[in-house]
Amino acid sequence: MDNVVDEWADLKELATNLASTSVPDSNLPLLTSLLHADPVTRASCLLVEFPPRWKRTSGNYSCAEHALVLRGSVILDGEEWSAGHGFVVPPGALRTETFSPDGALVVAWFGGAPRWTSAAIGGESKSGLAWNGDQGATRRDEVDMQGWRWRHVPQPTGQPESGIITYQWPSS
């Protein structure tokens, strides 16, 4: 059986045609494009644009979230994640506030169906932890941070190239 590798998608091009998406407990909608979804686990990968001054109040997701900031910055509970940096939020971790003062463009993965719970109901986990990609040879997504490209690799043929950040499906 031949290994199949999806073609690179141009994230700059995709960012010109995003759909408005309402988000619970936020002051403005986000702009999004679904890049990949697993029909069984409901895990997903999205290109997300945060408009300037986007803000969300307290709550948590039922699944883990991984994110890579391509442009701008996202402030999560007082810690700023700027272009070129990634973070992971464990499932159930309480986020007291998420804010994007000048807007941001992010590739975000959800480890399952992202069910949001409002207010101060959540675990004790720290909301944002540094993330520099996953290691491993299972199916994965790759993001070229320099070239602003993304692809889903259902059957990897080897290690990703230098400068490529990987998300391993499923990821912990």
The domain locations on the chain are: 18-131
* Residue 70, token pair as written in the block: 């391509």
pLDDT-derived band at 4, boundaries 50, 70, 90: very low
Q: Measured between alpha carbons, how far is residue 27 from residues 30, 52, 78, 93 in Å?
A: 10, 11, 18, 21
Cα angle 108, 167, 34; round to 5: 40
pLDDT-derived band at 133, boundaries 50, 70, 90: low
pLDDT-derived band at 123, boundaries 50, 70, 90: low
Q: Quick check: 172 pLDDT over 80?
A: no
Q: What is the pLDDT of residue 161?
A: 77
d(CA 157, CA 2): 10
Q: Quick check: 157 pLDDT over 80?
A: no
Rounded to the nearest angstrom, the gap between the alpha carbon of residue 95 and the centroid of all alpha carbons in its chain is: 15
8 A C-beta contact, residue 159 and residue 21: no
Enumerate the β-bridge partners of residue 135: none
Contacts of 117 (CB under 8 A, 6+ apart): 59, 60, 61, 62
Dihedral sign of CA atoms 159, 165, 171, 172 in order: positive
If DSSP codes are grouped into helix, strand and coil, which group holds residue 13? helix
8 A C-beta contact, residue 63 and residue 114: yes
CATH class of the domain comprising 18-131: mainly beta
Q: Measured between alpha carbons, how far is residue 68 from residues 2, 21, 54, 140 in Å?
A: 30, 19, 17, 15
